[in-house]
Amino acid sequence: MIDLSIEFAGLKLKNPLIAASAGTTKDAVHCKKAADAGYSAVILKSVQEEMINRYNPFPRMSIIRNGIPGYQSVTFMTYEQAFEGEIEDYCEEIKRTKDMLDIPVIASLNCANEQTWAQYAVKCEAAGADALEIVPSCPVGAFVREAAEFYPAASKALKSVKEVVKIPAGLKMTQQMSNPILCARNLEEDGADWVTMFNRSSGFQIDIDTMEPIMHKGFCGHGGPWVIQSVMRWIAASYPYVRIPISATGGAANYEDVVRYMLSGAATVQIASLIYMKGYDIVKRILEDLVEYLEKHKLDKVSTLTGIGANKVLPLSEADRSHRYYAEVDYENCIRCQNCFPVCIYGAITQEDRRPVIHKDICDGCGLCSQVCNRAITMKQR
C-alpha cells in the first residue's frame, strides 16, 4: 500500500496536493469541490485589506498563446484580485468551510498596513483556520512598487503574525527578487513554518493593434507551464539551506510536474490554473498516476521523493565539458519534416532530397537537432 500522506508544517495531509488560493477556492462551496476531488488541503482565496482589491474587474482572464512558431507555450494572464468581502465576511467563510470539509483549511492574508496582518491573523485563527498563508506577493498592481522591498515587508508581516497566533503560518514568496534562497532562509529564522515558492509573477501584455495594455491596462498576474523550471531551480537551490518545508506552486499540470517539484525539494504542490482549465477532478488522475509512479520506482512513501534531485545538483565547475557527441540520422525514421535544418548554427546539416545529411566533422554535438527532430536524429558518442 502506497503512503501518500505528508506531514506539512504541523498539518497532517493525506497527499501532497493542495488547492492553491484562487477564485477556485473563493468560498466554502468551491473549497468543498476541491476537497471532494481529492486535494489534501485548501487555501482560501486571499482576503485583501485594500478596499479596491476586493472588487474584481471584468473580464479578467486572458490566455496568451506565445512562443516560437511550432513550439507554442501558453501564458495564463489574470487580473483577479481577492476575496470579495470584509475580514468579518472572510471569517464567516472560514467557519462555513471548516464545517463542510474534513481537510485542513488554510486562510490567506494580503494586508496593506503593517499592523493589520496581526489583526487579521487573530480573527482567522479564532474562526477556525488550521493555518495561515501570508501573501505580501500579490502580482496585481501595487506589488511592482514593493518588489525590491519584499523581504523586509514579508519579515515584518510574518513576525507580527507569529507573535499573536498559535497555528502554523507560511509565507508565499514572490519570484521577482534577486535571491530567493536568502529570503527563504531569513524567513525561516523569522519563524515561518513553511515557505511557498512562488506566487505568480507580475506581468504585462500589449495589444499591438490598439497599442494599449490588454484588459484593464495594468500589471497582471501571469504564469503557465513554462514557469516550472524556474520555480524548481529556486526550490532545488534553497532546499539544502532551509529546514522548514517548501510548498511549490506554478504551472503544475500532471503527476510528472508533481514528482519533479518534489524531487527538487518541495514537500507539497499547490495547484490553481489547472483547476480553472480542466476542473477540480483532474487531481484524481494525478493521484492515480502518482501511485503508479511510486509503485514503478518501488517507493512506498511519497514523502521520500522530497529533495532527492536537489541533492544531486552539481556545481558548474563539475559539468562534463568533453566534446564527445555527434548527431546521426536514422533514415528509416526521417519524415522529411525539415525541423533540423534551421537549428544547426554550425552548418553541419545539409539537405539532400529534403532529408538531412550530418557532417560529423563539423557537428558540434550540441544536441539541438535531435531535440527538434521527430525521432530520426539521435546523439552518438564519438
Q: Which of 15, 21, 97, 306 binds ligand FMN (CB under 6 A)?
A: 21
DSSP annotation string for 53-101: GGS--SS-EEEEEESSTTS-EEEEEE-----SS-HHHHHHHHHHHHHH-
If the CB atoms of residues 82 and 246 are measured against ligand FMN, the closer one turns out to be 82
Over its C-alpha atoms, the chain yields an Rg (Å, rounded) of 23
- In angstroms, the CA 267 to CA 377 distance is 38
If the CB atoms of residues 46 and 264 are measured against ligand FMN, the closer one turns out to be 46
Instruction: Indicate whether 136 belongs to the interface with ligand FMN (CB under 6 A).
Output: no
If the CB atoms of residues 139 and 309 are measured against ligand FMN, the closer one turns out to be 139
To the nearest whole angstrom, how small is the minimum distance from the Cβ of residue 221 to ligand FMN?
6
Phi, psi of 185 (to 5 degrees): -60, -45
Contact letters for ligand FMN, residues 258-297 (x by CB under 6 A):
------------xxxxx-----------------------
To the nearest whole angstrom, how small is the minimum distance from the Cβ of residue 81 to ligand FMN?
7
To the nearest whole angstrom, how small is the minimum distance from the Cβ of residue 84 to ligand FMN?
11
Q: Which of 38, 104, 203, 223 binds ligand FMN (CB under 6 A)?
A: 223
Instruction: Indicate whether 80 belongs to the interface with ligand FMN (CB under 6 A).
Output: yes
Parallel, antiparallel, or unpaired: how do β-strands 61-66 and 17-19 relate? unpaired
Joined grid coordinates for residue 237: 537551490
Q: Which helix (H) or strand (E) holds 158?
A: helix 150-164
If the CB atoms of residues 66 and 333 are measured against ligand FMN, the closer one turns out to be 66
300-359 positions binding ligand FMN, by CB under 6 A: none
Q: Which helix (H) or strand (E) holds 342?
A: helix 340-343
CB 355 within 8 A of CB 313: no
Site residue total, ligand FMN (CB under 6 A): 26
Q: Which of 168, 245, 250, 307 binds ligand FMN (CB under 6 A)?
A: 250
Instruction: Indicate whether 53 belongs to the interface with ligand FMN (CB under 6 A).
Output: no
DSSP annotation string for 3-32: B--EEETTEEESSSEEE-SSGGGSSHHHHH
Instruction: Indicate whether 20 belongs to the interface with ligand FMN (CB under 6 A).
Output: yes
Phi, psi of 252 (to 5 degrees): -65, 130
Residue 189 DSSP code: H
Joined grid coordinates for residue 74: 501558453
Q: Catalog residues that contact ligand FMN under the rule CB under 6 A.
A: 20-23, 45-46, 76, 78, 80, 82, 108, 135, 172, 199-200, 221, 223, 249-252, 270-274
